[in-house]
A and B are shown apart, each in its own frame.
Chain A
């Protein structure tokens, strides 16, 4: 009788033999009862299993279970509204009529305008009648490409890789596994088409297909320095993501670019040659530089400690802890290019945080202060550099 392989030994240790075919499970158990070699191997595998469990246990966060009622309320609030069947029929009928009109126009587009059968041809002439319908619609499509008409696509896309079925039908950007019930709960993709003439034309035109693949076609607006001071709180409110929110990142990027002034604009119209600019040398990323830490210290504050920040085994930046005037601790972190602010530990309960991009890196400031006060500290820091 052949020995039991290590996979089956681990299944035995995990109590998963019941999930094996009954005959196979019985054979493994019987063999383990009589084979000394396999018993020894089982003991060795048990140690490996326990060691792995202990290692994983060292990275287990404390979990407090919040109330379910709050989540139920959130689920109710975010329940998608279904389009009534009658409205869908109406929309389909409307789209069908546009298809017919455009189809006729397309067929007639190359016909010469001549002869008595073209009487009343002003309505059918290439210059301005039905025949010009498609191209006019196309032109209108192009003209409206910069308008936020694509919003329905953007709205549908946040769950493209998670659980929003319509978006996955339309966008197909993430080929990974979807939620198991997605197919059953999918809504027709036509729900995402705006019920406007432009929307229908886009759906029918060649550019519409491209529009579906690229949810946001708006071009980023030119950067303009703010004409008036940007209120920090307003910017913060705009930028704060909802928990678990998974926005379409490409659209989000374009949106950000087109939204005009952002926080750094309020600070300096041009990036100041601050700490990030000084340590943005990618070649330096693997080695901490003591000299860097000085530029993270706000002038006038007592330095408590300077610590490296690592992302795995890679040096990711520096972190300076400073004592504020009343004894509170200010934390200033510079993350070099390639490091992500999300890898930092969570903000302490009594702290606020501002996160700013500086060139290719990030500056993160945390302290038990308001955002405005943190901003003032940042300005002091930059003034000192």
Chain B
């Protein structure tokens, strides 16, 4: 059965960007990596494109993290934005607020174990329990328990962050 790539692309691309964004924390980079995953998928034409895309995306994000670590050690020009994008210009204040918001979510996610975080991000990107199980190597029956624990820890950690911020504001 041939894959309708237009359909896969429309339904999966936003989820893939969201998934990647929580890993690289750079919206533009997440978009680039999602595109790269699709380019590779179009080249390989996997039988289960959605699961394949998330697997490749996770690998790309992992590579990205390693690349950043390595690049810090070397004299280099990392990147130059040469293409103009039609994004709306935002004020520094808006940008800062967004960064703070993302930072708090990131802090909360960082309190989770790797497997819990992966399962949660895959679920939030619309992956089924079976797909999550396949990608994380756990049994389907364990996905619910993992998600329950991950959600609770995320909510708890986020509330702690809220309280800390309120304390700082009061001082």
Contact = CB atoms under 8 A, between A and B. Distances in A.
B32 A243 contact: yes
B74 A357 contact: yes
A3 to B, nearest CB: 14
A108 to B, nearest CB: 46
Interface in A280-329: 304-305, 307, 310, 312-313, 321, 329
B74 A256 contact: yes
A5 B51 contact: no
B144 A180 contact: no
Contact of B141 (A6, A20, A52): A20
Contacts of B158: 51, 55
B21 A60 contact: yes
B18 A60 contact: yes
Interface string B115-151: 0000011011000111000010100111111111011
Interface string B58-88: 1110111011111111111111111011111
A163 B30 contact: no
Contacts of A177: 55, 58-59, 135, 137
B99 to A, nearest CB: 6
A222 interface: no
Interface string A78-119: 111000000000000000000000000000000000000000
A309 to B, nearest CB: 9
B39 interface: yes
B86 A349 contact: yes
A224 interface: no
Given A71-B42, A181-B47, A9 B144 contact: yes
Interface residues of B, number: 104
A197 interface: no
Interface in B27-47: 27-33, 35-40, 42-44, 46-47
B103 A312 contact: yes
Contacts of B21: 59-61
A243 B110 CA distance: 26
Interface stretch (A30-38, A133-141, A232-240): A232-240
9 contacts: A52-B150, A161-B59, A180-B52, A243-B36, A257-B74, A344-B26, A348-B89, A349-B84, A371-B80
Interface of B: 5-6, 9-10, 13-14, 17-18, 21-22, 24-33, 35-40, 42-44, 46-48, 51-52, 55-56, 58-60, 62-64, 66-82, 84-90, 92, 95-96, 98-99, 101-108, 110, 120-121, 123-124, 128-130, 135, 137, 140-148, 150-152, 154-155, 158
Given A59-B102, A346-B29, 7 more contacts: A10-B144, A10-B151, A19-B129, A162-B59, A240-B80, A244-B35, A349-B84
